[in-house]
């Protein structure tokens, strides 16, 4: 029997059970003699505001200088990937949307593109559905970057930015609510199309938002870019060059801030991104300042994409024609605000017994996906989001694994922190923009 140096174990009726203690805090701290050694071991988190209670950093310090950094994750683990194996393919959307809870639409889109590739229906997705997907992914990117501006501003002392960033994000959440009924965890993008069509009221809100946000962005740049304190807290801090990014697999704004214009929307297009006109912002400083500049520029580029998507939006269905896959999308609420209206139920039941049985089986059992495995990657607000989906031919996924950018990018913290000052650990970690819901899935 093998043993683990990281976890104690015991045999139970359910099999071998491991007790994971989390990090190597005891062995590190026990080896420090405070009388003869100036090294200090600091347990930062999991309550530190920079990590929102879900990331722990074990730091070794010599004075104010960090000599070693060990990130400890797992405090938010929800077992989403395992849960997917016990739900049908459509129900899986309601799980993946909760992973990176600041990028719901990206999580859903990556999953649905993978399922559609397994089904062989990628080319059958309607133009309207694809256009709305692009529009909502870009709105989600803007919302995510606004949260980054807000929280990073708070962590570096720019409290006003916290208020403004979340204020603007509310406009986008209003649009999501108008369309899907939910502000977060939308489950709006589904295999084969969308949960329901985009209402005209949401289109008007999007157009108003396109006029509103550019003015606000100029105010934020005037408030931050010209602020000496902001410059000193970000310029030359947490440097990670292209070589370091590529060695660690770091992607997204962090990689582009190091000078490499790698964006999957351009290099490996999906959802028709090759037909949109937009630039890939980069910087050359490879520090927190460069990541700030890149994210602000990306907000403007996303606004351009959203405007183009609105202009090319044409009437049409948002589901594929195959009724063996297309989820019922024209669902009207009952008088109590729950379930389906009596008129809708009567319509289904009045068509035919076969139609009613099909509706029941599609909703409860789900459709079957041919055996196989695929890998689909999209440009998530934090970098490359990859979905490896495996089917055994059943109505449930055999396995779905996410290549989640927050998890991959977090391993860059030691590279940025070691040799730097303790205060810069906060700025460097924040500049990675990790969301632990995606890391601990």
DSSP string covering 117-183: HHHT-GGGS-HHHHHHHHHHHHHHHHHHHHHHHHHHHHHTT-HHHHHHHHHHHHHHHHHHHHHHS-S
Residues, the chain: 441
| Domains delineated in the chain | 7-72 (no CATH), 90-321+368-439 (1.10.645.10)
Q: pLDDT by residue for the chain (441 residues), tens digit each?
A: 455 555 577 788 777 776 655 556 566 556 555 555 667 888 877 655 556 678 888 888 888 888 888 888 888 888 899 999 999 999 899 999 999 889 999 999 999 999 999 999 999 999 999 999 999 999 999 999 999 999 888 888 888 898 999 999 999 999 999 888 888 888 899 999 898 889 899 999 999 999 999 999 999 988 898 888 889 999 998 899 999 999 999 999 999 999 999 999 999 999 999 999 999 999 999 999 999 999 999 999 999 999 999 999 999 888 888 888 887 655 555 555 555 566 766 776 676 677 777 777 887 888 899 999 999 999 999 999 999 999 999 999 999 999 999 999 999 999 998 888 888 888 888 899 888 888 888
Which of 31, 32, 33, 3 has the alpha carbon at shortest distance from 19?
A: 3
State the Cα–Cα distance between residues 238 and 259, nearest whole angstrom.
Answer: 15
> How much is the CA Rg of the chain, to the nearest whole Å?
24
Helices (H) and strands (E) in the chain, counts: 18, 10
Beta bridge partners of 374: 389
- pTM score of the predicted model: 0.85
CB burial class (10 A; 0-12, 13-18, 19+) of residue 251? buried
Residue 102 Cα to chain centre, angstroms: 6
State the Cα–Cα distance between residues 403 and 394, nearest whole angstrom.
Answer: 23
State the Cα–Cα distance between residues 53 and 76, nearest whole angstrom.
Answer: 9
Residue 50 Cα to chain centre, angstroms: 18
């Amino acid at each position: 029997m093998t043993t683990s140096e990281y976890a104690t174990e015991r045999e139970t009726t359910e099999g071998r059970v491991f007790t994971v203690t989390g990090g190597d805090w005891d062995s590190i701290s026990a080896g420090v003699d405070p009388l003869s050694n100036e090294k200090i071991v600091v347990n930062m988190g999991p309550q530190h505001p920079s990590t929102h209670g879900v990331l722990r950093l074990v730091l070794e310090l010599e004075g104010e200088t960090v000599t070693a950094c060990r990130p400890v994750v797992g405090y938010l683990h929800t077992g989403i990937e395992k849960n997917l194996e016990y739900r049908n393919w459509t129900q899986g959307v309601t799980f993946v949307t909760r992973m990176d809870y600041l990028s719901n639409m990206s999580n859903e889109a990556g999953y649905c593109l993978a399922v559609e590739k397994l089904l062989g229906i990628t080319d059958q997705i309607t133009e309207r559905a694809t256009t709305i997907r692009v529009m909502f992914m870009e709105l989600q990117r803007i919302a995510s970057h606004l949260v980054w501006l807000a929280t990073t501003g708070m962590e570096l002392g720019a409290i006003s930015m916290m208020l403004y960033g979340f204020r603007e994000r509310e406009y986008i959440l209003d649009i999501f609510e108008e369309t899907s009924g939910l502000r977060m965890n939308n489950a709006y993008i589904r295999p084969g199309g969308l949960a329901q069509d985009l209402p005209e009221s949401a289109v008007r809100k999007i157009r108003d938002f396109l006029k509103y946000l550019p003015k606000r962005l100029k105010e934020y740049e005037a408030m931050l870019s010209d602020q000496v304190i902001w410059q000193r807290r970000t310029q030359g801090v947490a440097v990670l060059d292209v070589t370091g990014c590529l060695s660690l697999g770091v992607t997204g704004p962090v990689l582009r801030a190091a000078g490499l214009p790698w964006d999957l929307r351009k290099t490996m297009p999906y959802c028709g991104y090759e037909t949109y006109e937009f630039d890939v912002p980069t910087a050359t400083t490879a520090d927190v300042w460069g990541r700030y500049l890149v994210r602000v520029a990306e907000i403007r580029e996303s606004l351009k994409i959203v405007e183009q998507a609105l202009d090319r939006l044409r009437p049409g269905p948002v589901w594929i024609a195959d009724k063996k896959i297309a989820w019922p999308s024209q669902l009207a609420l009952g008088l109590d605000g729950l379930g389906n209206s009596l008129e809708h139920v009567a319509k289904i039941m009045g068509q035919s017994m076969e139609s009613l049985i099909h509706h029941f089986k599609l909703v409860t059992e789900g459709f079957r996906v041919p055996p196989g495995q695929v890998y689909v990657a999209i440009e998530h607000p934090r970098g490359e989001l990859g979905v490896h989906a495996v089917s055994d031919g059943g109505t449930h996924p055999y396995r779905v694994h996410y290549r989640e950018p927050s998890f991959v990018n977090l391993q860059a913290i030691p590279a940025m922190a070691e040799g730097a000052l303790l205060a810069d650990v906060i700025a460097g970690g924040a500049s990675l923009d990790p969301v632990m819901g995606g890391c601990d899935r």
